[in-house]
């Protein structure tokens, strides 16, 4: 199977997770009751998005131009090493503002911007889902 197939599978997983976040019915919060199911749902959606973007970085990194640079040098090594760095970079981008040890270049900057935007909006979407009025 080609790289394009895995790329589209990763994009599909990311988009499906985000659509699921917006369309799922979460457990409503009562006065002092907070559902663990909501946290598990959010954790699983974050995990899917994180792994999906990691796959996108890995697939793009295997292309003709590097998209991630570690300490001013394009990342290199075995596929497992590069996969680990892509997973790390995806987690740092999705969950924070990054440490600066791995920097995206070229198209990787655009992918990182989209991932960071999703990472900032997912908690808001989750809160809206929990507290929205049922009509």
List the CATH number of the domain containing 107: 1.10.287
Q: Could you tell me the two tokens for 122?
A: 């997912």
Distance CA 135, CA 133 (A): 6
Q: What is the pLDDT of residue 27?
A: 54
Which pLDDT band holds residue 1 (cuts at 50, 70, 90)?
low
Cα-Cα-Cα-Cα dihedral of 131, 47, 51, 111, to 10°?
30
DSSP assignment letter at 106: T
Handedness of CA 119, 5, 82, 75 (dihedral sign): negative
Q: Is residue 106 part of a domain?
A: yes
Q: Is residue 27 part of a domain?
A: no
Exposure b/e, 57-67, CB count within 10 A at least 16 = b: bbbbbeeeebb
Structural domains of the chain, count: 1
The parent domain of residue 107 ranges over 3-22+41-131
Report pLDDT digits (tens) over 8-47: 787 788 878 777 776 765 555 554 446 677 778 788 888 8
């Amino acid at each position: 199977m080609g790289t394009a197939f895995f790329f589209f599978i990763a994009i599909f997983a990311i988009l499906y997770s985000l659509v699921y976040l917006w369309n799922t019915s979460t457990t409503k919060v009562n006065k002092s009751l907070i559902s663990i199911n909501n946290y598990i749902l959010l954790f699983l959606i974050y995990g899917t998005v994180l792994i999906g973007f990691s796959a996108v970085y890995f697939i793009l990194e295997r292309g003709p131009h590097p998209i991630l640079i570690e300490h001013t040098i394009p990342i290199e090594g075995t596929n497992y090493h590069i996969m680990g760095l892509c997973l790390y970079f995806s987690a740092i981008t999705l969950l924070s503002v990054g440490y600066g040890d791995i920097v995206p270049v070229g198209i990787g900057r655009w992918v990182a911007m989209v991932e960071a935007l999703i990472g900032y909006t997912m908690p808001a979407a989750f809160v809206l889902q929990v507290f929205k009025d049922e009509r």
